[in-house]
Amino acid sequence: MKSTWTCGKCGGRRIWLIERYGAHSELTHGTDHRSDPFSIVINRGTRRPIPGWDARAVHVGAVDLLICAACGFSEFWARDFQGLVPEPEKGVHLIDATPERGPYR
């Protein structure tokens, strides 16, 4: 959807874009609400389920949400993720399925 502005499911051309999409959460004190932007997080410490991420967590990038106004089909798109580094031991993998190019013929 992001490159064509057309829904891949129904062909709709009215697309909602929510930049730096966040999770809406209720604070424990009162009824104040806030939206925390989703980000791509690499935990540099021990693996722990959320909440309780180690203070050494590194935030890389953000997430945009696209929604088709006709059918509701949705896509997440990452932005500013160029700082990611493969760390298989921490569950961060770069899968490169690019075919190797042979000599020019």
Per-residue pLDDT of the chain (105 residues; tens, 9 = 90+): 999 999 999 999 999 999 888 765 444 444 544 456 666 666 555 555 555 545 566 677 888 999 999 999 999 998 888 888 888 887 888 899 998 887 776
pLDDT at 25: 43
Confidence (pTM): 0.61
Q: Is the CB of residue 35 less than 8 Å from the CB of residue 26?
A: no
pLDDT at 29: 43
Q: Is the CB of residue 35 less than 8 Å from the CB of residue 48?
A: no
The C-alpha atoms of residue 98 and residue 103 are separated, in whole angstroms, by 16
pLDDT at 58: 67
Rg (CA), the chain: 19
The C-alpha atoms of residue 36 and residue 33 are separated, in whole angstroms, by 10
